[in-house]
Amino acid sequence: MESYEGLAKVYDRLMAGVDYDTWADYVMEVATSFGSRIETVLDLACGTGNTSIPLAKQGCKVTGVDLSRHMLEIAEEKAKKAGLSINFMQRNMLKMEFTQPFDLVVSFQDGLNYLVGEGDFALMAKRVKAALKPQGLFIFDLNQVKKYDDLSDGSTDIVDDEDLFMVYEYDYSKENQVWEIRVNGFIKSGALYERFSEVHQEKQYEIEEVKSILTKEGFTIKAVWGIFTKKAPTDTCRRLLVVAEREA
């Protein structure tokens, strides 16, 4: 099963508590605070469009890319209902190419943590640089997955609603710094339940490694903050915001 084929059907329901409009406001505020005028945006790992759509509402011309066709189909339908023109594309961020560069590239909700292969982050950085205008900004979050090493004993979470039952099983490999999430779900469809099973992995990226890679690939690090702040992250921070500028 394609990653997110099953979760795509319930993803927005599971993420209903996230205020994406406030998230988009924060991103634009950060971008403008560094003197950028944002008109065009590339949203990496855009999923069901939860970042793309609020940015488009703010007047940006947005392109969203994701590996999951199922997530993109939902994103397209949501944008259509909102009366927004967003270019959603099924692309691998490690191979993507664009003819017109963007003012801003973003990636949120752990999108870059899914790059678990050796050298993937550097390859992504090359592609992002090629997609940005000179002095364009790259703003993204990183889930600090090492904060979840207490889940290395095979801990589980359960979602039990009237028409949805899901079991999450977790493991964290300290050696590889990879957090694995095994998902088994049952979605009610008529009188029956449709079952799906998926495995997701997220890699811990140490911030100094990230800064080194980006600098080597031609970026200037403008900020590393705790998410939704403009302050250095605390020891307990589980999500970072990184702002990098493509060198002129």
Residues 57 and 163 in one domain: no
6 or 101: which carries more pLDDT confidence?
A: 101
Domain span at 187: 146-202
> For 154-183, what is each residue's pLDDT tens digit?
788 899 988 899 999 988 888 888 989 999
Contact 89, 63 (CB under 8 A): yes
> What percent of the chain clears pLDDT 70, i.e. is strictly above it?
96
Q: What angle do CA 128, 180, 182 make, to 5 degrees?
A: 115
Residues 111 and 170 in one domain: no
Residues 56 and 136 in one domain: yes
Alpha-helical runs (H) found in the chain = 11-14, 20-33, 52-57, 69-81, 120-131, 207-216
> For 211-235, what is each residue's pLDDT tens digit?
999 999 999 999 999 999 999 999 8
Contact 243, 30 (CB under 8 A): yes
- Residue 218 CA to residue 244 CA, distance in Å, equals 10
Residues 106 and 214 in one domain: yes
Residues 97 and 187 in one domain: no
Going from the C-alpha of 113 to that of each of 20, 37, 40, 176, the distances in angstroms are 19, 28, 24, 13
> For 34-83, what is each residue's pLDDT tens digit?
999 999 999 999 999 999 999 999 999 999 999 999 999 999 999 999 99
Residue 138 has pLDDT above 60, yes or no: yes
Residues 197 and 209 in one domain: no
In-domain check, residue 157: yes
Where residue 1 falls among pLDDT bands split at 50, 70, 90?
Answer: very low
Contact 48, 23 (CB under 8 A): no
Residues 154 and 182 in one domain: yes
In-domain check, residue 1: no
- Residue 33 CA to residue 77 CA, distance in Å, equals 33
17 or 49: which carries more pLDDT confidence?
A: 49
The CATH number linked to 188 is 2.20.25.110
First to last CA, the chain: 42
Residues 113 and 176 in one domain: no
For the chain, what is the domain count? 2
Average pLDDT over residues 185-199: 87
pLDDT at 147: 67
Residues 190 and 84 in one domain: no
Q: Mean pLDDT lowest for which of 6-10, 136-140, 213-217?
A: 6-10
pLDDT at 153: 61
Helices 120-131 + 207-216 axis angle, to 10:
50
Contact 14, 38 (CB under 8 A): no
